[in-house]
Amino acid sequence: MATTTSTRNRTVTSSGVEVVQRRNVPAAVLTYAGVVLICLWGLLPFYWMIVTSFRDVGYTFDTTPWPTHTTLENYATAFSTARGNHFGAALLHSLVIGAVTTVVGLVVGVFTAYALARLEFRGKFYVLGVILGASMFPGVALVTPLFQLFTNLGWLNTYQALIIPNISFVLPLTVYTLTAFFTEMPWELEESARMDGCTPGQAFVKVILPLAAPGIFTTAILAFTAAWNEFLLASQLGGDKVQPVTVAIATFAGAQPHQEPYTAVMAAGTIVTVPLIIMVLVFQRRIVSGLTAGGVKS
């Protein structure tokens, strides 16, 4: 461990202690080598997906590390419905499923998180236990009973069949993340709002919610990502009418039955990933704090 590792040490540095001088060059070089390696780890496979997505299909297995034989044709192929792929529709389905899941998960989660962070009541630990247990629950154990239940209800291949289980998957995540955020809020403000004659509801809506907006927004990103990435239940309970992008990409058909349309799939993968990557770039600090505060599912 070098001396200059944590924020604390940096404070010491700025207040004039000799830490900076003691920082040795080989250690710094080693650190940067590690940083570069970690960046490559995260970015190389992603970079390869993008490069391939712009490469002419005839040069699918070209190994030139930079873009060659560039074309936009793969993106056209990805959206083409000629081979029975409905990627465009799947994007829409995923947006609907993700948006509804996020909104409902947040609205329900906000109330529970408020109660957990703010109210004192008996059985709080039991509630936490139930929610935690739900987050550990293997989704596959639900496939059989839900498949049967939704068959009986005639719900297979409907939005509700995908959205309702998704809500229960993101709820533990939203409750935990929001509770962590709420715990850190300046609750004195709520008290003073109450003193000024607000009802608890008014105090919550007028004072707490605006202050909690960043935390709620972060939680929304995490919930949406989770719903956007869901594959197992969508592949079993969904169908052509509600097929989300994850299933569309997994089952993407090529020109011939056993010929994988790699470049088109990479283009579709890039389209699905880029919005998430942009969110990551813009909100990275918040996402990390949200993930480590209560993110339980990757």
Partner 1 sequence: MSTTSGVATGEFAQGTPPLDPGGRRKSLHDGSGRRATLLIAPTIVLLAIVILYPVISAVTQSFTKDAGLDPATGLFVEGGFAGLSNYKLWLLQDCGSGAFSCPPGTLGSQFWTATGVTFFFTVVAVSLETLLGFVFALVMHRDFKGRGILRASVLVPWAIPTAVTAKLWYFIFAYDGIANKVLGTNILWTGDGFAPKAAIIIADTWKTAPFMALLILAGLQVIDGSVYEAAKMDGATAWQRFRFITLPLVRPALMVAVLFRTLDTLRMYDLPKILTGGAGNTSTLSMLVVDQVRSGFNAASALSTLTFLIVFAVAFIFIKFLGANVTEQRAPKTTKAA
Q: Which one, 22 or 241, has the nearer CB to partner 1? A: 22
Which token pair is 159?
Answer: 């939005």
Beta bridge partners of 70: 55
Site string for partner 1, 30-49 (x = CB under 8 A): -xx-xx--xx-xxx-xx-xx
Q: Which residues from 64-123 bind partner 1, rule CB under 8 A?
A: 108-109, 111-112, 114-122
Question: Least Å distance between CB 47 and partner 1?
Answer: 10
**DSSP assignment of 61-116:** T---SS--SB-SHHHHHHH--TTS--HHHHHHHHHHHHHHHHHHHHHHHHHHHHHH
Q: Which one, 43 or 213, has the nearer CB to partner 1? A: 43
Q: Which one, 25 or 120, has the nearer CB to partner 1? A: 120
Residues 260-275, buried b or exposed e (16+ Cβ, 10 A)? ebbbbbbbbbbbbbee
Question: Least Å distance between CB 154 and partner 1?
Answer: 11
Question: Least Å distance between CB 141 and partner 1?
Answer: 4
Name every residue whose Cβ is closer than 8 Å to that of residue 23 and which is 6 or more positions away in sequence: 2, 3, 4
Residue 205 binds to partner 1 (criterion: CB under 8 A): no
Helix (H, G, I), strand (E, B) or coil at 55: strand
Question: Least Å distance between CB 69 and partner 1?
Answer: 16
Residue 200 binds to partner 1 (criterion: CB under 8 A): yes
CB 297 within 8 A of CB 173: yes
Residue 158 binds to partner 1 (criterion: CB under 8 A): no
Q: Which one, 72 or 189, has the nearer CB to partner 1? A: 189
Q: Which residues from 127-146 bind partner 1, rule CB under 8 A?
A: 127-134, 136-146
Specify the residue for token string 């003073």.
192
Phi/psi at 231 (5° precision): -130, -45
CA neighbor of 268 nearest in space, from 141, 84, 85, 108: 85
Residue 207 binds to partner 1 (criterion: CB under 8 A): no
Which token pair is 178?
Answer: 């929001």
Name every residue whose Cβ is closer than 8 Å to that of residue 190 and which is 6 or more positions away in sequence: 203, 204, 207, 208
Scanning 67-75, 77-85, 95-103, 167-175 for contacts with partner 1 by CB under 8 A, the matching segment is 167-175
Q: Which residues from 13-32 bind partner 1, rule CB under 8 A?
A: 23, 28, 31-32
Question: Least Å distance between CB 76 and partner 1?
Answer: 19
CA neighbor of 52 nearest in space, from 274, 271, 262, 272: 262
Residue 253 binds to partner 1 (criterion: CB under 8 A): no
Q: Which residues from 254-293 bind partner 1, rule CB under 8 A?
A: 260, 262, 265-266, 269, 272-273, 276-277, 279-281, 284-285, 287-288, 291-292
In this structure, what DSSP letter does residue 24 have?
Answer: -
Q: Which one, 52 or 77, has the nearer CB to partner 1? A: 52
Q: Which one, 61 or 66, has the nearer CB to partner 1? A: 61
